[in-house]
Amino acid sequence: MNPLILDNIAKHIQLEPSEADYFLTLLKETKIKKNSVLLRPGDVCKALTFVTSGCLRLYKTDTDGKDHILLFAPEGWWCTDSYSFYTQTPAEYGIDALEDTTCLQITAEKLELLYKEVPKFERFFRILFQNGFIMYQKRITANTSLTAEKRYHRFKLTYPKLEQRIAQKHIASYLGITPVFLSRLRKRNG
Amino acid sequence: MNPLILDNIAKHIQLEPSEADYFLTLLKETKIKKNSVLLRPGDVCKALTFVTSGCLRLYKTDTDGKDHILLFAPEGWWCTDSYSFYTQTPAEYGIDALEDTTCLQITAEKLELLYKEVPKFERFFRILFQNGFIMYQKRITANTSLTAEKRYHRFKLTYPKLEQRIAQKHIASYLGITPVFLSRLRKRNG
DNA sequence: CGTCTATTTGAATGTACTCAAAAGCGGTGG
DNA sequence: CCACCGCTTTTGAGTACATTCAAATAGACG
């Protein structure tokens, strides 16, 4: 099995080999093709997902039918509709694949089991959400204090090389601008 | 002691009376006057803070010297510079009081002790950060998909009655608009 | 009561948007 | 293998939401 996920966990907590093995038994590998859907808005989000290769997007469709991307999840990233997953209520957000993607998934039930059997994982996910919280906090500041041009630069730092892998309209959706305007920005600079 | 904090914790985990008592011994009550500073940007954030009365703001100053408010923390809310607090490195954000405020504080050291003695608190703070993560996620969507007018409406729902307690320039800073434009918005409507 | 800061109002400006059309690119089938 | 179709990106022209600058008014606090 891909050790990427164990490396990811080892950044924050130390597992005994037996705990790591147990953890891996709770995961299910899923492969989805480019442009196919992992979570349809309105469905209950059944799993917490870790991407081992490819790239997912987490997005929300507004009342005008426009998408807003909250998160890209290339390899090494976690992705879920947290609210839907933890409350097992219909999702506000959607998740789908921007490339052929392989991921590891754990269901809400199995995650609760994991918390019970290996409480260290409460700590792991506490730190994971804490980091996500900090990341979003910085993004809110960026969105209100920086011009679209600087936010674009910041995107390239946050997701190195991702720019070449995905459509510009998705980058625009992440930045909170129109694809038309992103095109003009790119022309102005390099 | 104010039971507000125990009610807050009881929303997510159940404590034995002895655990609750132990928890309370780790807290220190702090009172700060309106307009005084709890965390100066550049200092290390020493404590995680729960507000029992009054109101704090968490903000960041950008390179143009403009403030951007990330969070209001009236009674019942938690507030800290998470990154600075958990890494004990200099803070990017500032925290100060918009009203005379009373709060309960726990240091990073004592919090680690608490995690060790009562591991349930890992769960509590995991859920707290998870909820904060979800809150910021929604705010990012709101900031890119709604007009300033609708974001203002949303602010009033998120923080009922707070509008009457604090200066408009702070609300504008939270919404990501200028005080001048907020004034015009208010004139147009009610 | 006087001073200092916050809010309001007016006028000109800018950043990013919409609408529209053309050009580019990618996948699919004949 | 190339031609076609649909979707993405580019480009142009006009527009809107929110800003800046400036001055007047209102409020808060010692």
Q: Does one domain contain both A121 and A171?
A: no
Are A68 and B144 a contacting pair at CB < 8 A? Answer: yes
Residue A141 is classified by DSSP as H
On whether both A36 and A83 belong to a single domain, the answer is yes
Q: Which residues of B102-137 are buried (b: 16+ CB within 10 A; e: fewer)?
A: ebbbbebebbeebbeebebbbbbbbbbbbbbbbebb
Assess whether A90 and A106 both reside in one domain.
Answer: yes
DSSP B44: B
Which residues lie across from B121 on neighbouring strands? none
Question: What mean pLDDT is predicted for residues A126-149?
Answer: 94
Residue B190's pLDDT band (boundaries 50, 70, 90)?
A: low
For strand C, which nucleotides have at least one atom less than 7 Å from a protein CB? Answer: 6-10, 15-20
Q: What is the mean pLDDT of residues B128-157?
A: 94
pLDDT digits (tens, 9 = 90+) for B84-120: 999 999 999 999 999 999 999 999 999 999 999 999 9
Q: How far is the CA of A146 from the C1' of D10 (A)?
A: 25
Boundary residue ending a domain (B119, B138, B157)? B138
Task: Give the Cα separation of A114 and A48 in Å (integer).
Answer: 13
Same domain? A188 vs A121: no
* Of A130, A134, A143, Cβ closest to residue B144: A143
Strands (E), B67-179: 67-74, 78-79, 94-97, 101-107
Mutation target vs A (from B48, B136, B171; most A CBs, 10 A cutoff): B136
Of the candidates A48, A128, A56, A123, the one whose C-alpha atom is nearest the C-alpha of residue A88 is: A48
- Residues A121 and A165 occupy one common structural domain: no
Three-state secondary-structure class, residue B62:
coil
Q: Based on the structure, what is the number of domains in chain B?
A: 2
Query: Where does the pLDDT of residue B63 fall: very low under 50, low under 70, confident under 90, or very high at 90 and above?
Result: confident
Among candidates B60, B132, B137 on the partner chain, residue whose Cβ is nearest the Cβ of A141? B60
Identify whether the C-beta of residue A91 lies closer than 8 Å to the C-beta of residue A81.
yes
Do B102 and B190 reside in the same domain of the chain?
no
Domain of residue A167, residue span = 146-190
Same domain, B48 and B68: yes
One domain, residues A90 and A162:
no
Q: What is the pLDDT of residues A35-70, one digit of tens each?
A: 999 999 999 999 999 999 999 999 999 988 899 999
Q: What is the mean pLDDT of residues A98-118?
A: 96
User: pLDDT class for A190, splitting at 50, 70, 90?
Assistant: low
List the CATH number of the domain containing A17.
2.60.120.10
Residues of chain A contacting residue B176, judged by C-beta atoms under 8 Å apart:
143-144
Same domain for B93 and B13? yes
Residues A132 and A150 in one domain: no
Chain B nearest-CA residue for A127:
B126
Report the pLDDT value the prediction gives residue B99, as an integer from 0 to 100.
Answer: 96
Q: Which residue of A70, A86, A95, A126 is the best one to mutate when testing the B interface, meaning the one whose CB has the most B CBs within 10 A? A: A126
Residues B9 and B63 in one domain: yes
A100 pLDDT higher than 90: yes
Q: Do A133 and B137 touch (CB under 8 A)?
A: no
Task: Identify nearest nucleotide to residue B144 by CA to C1′ distance.
Answer: C16
The mean pLDDT value for B136-160 works out to 93
Q: What element of type H or E holds B156?
A: helix B148-158
Q: What share of chain A has pLDDT > 70, as a percent? A: 98
pLDDT tens, position by position, B10-19: 999 999 999 9
DSSP A62: -
pLDDT band, very low/low/confident/very high, at A73 (cuts 50, 70, 90): very high
Q: Which of B5, B134, B69 is nearest to A58 (CA)?
A: B134
**Residue A64 sits in the same domain as residue A154:** no
Smallest CA-to-CA distance from B111 within B96, B129, B98, B93 is with B129
Tokens of B49: 């803070």
* Contact residues for A139 (Cβ-Cβ < 8 A; gap 6+): B136, B140
pLDDT of residue A2: 65
More confident call, A179 vs A64: A179
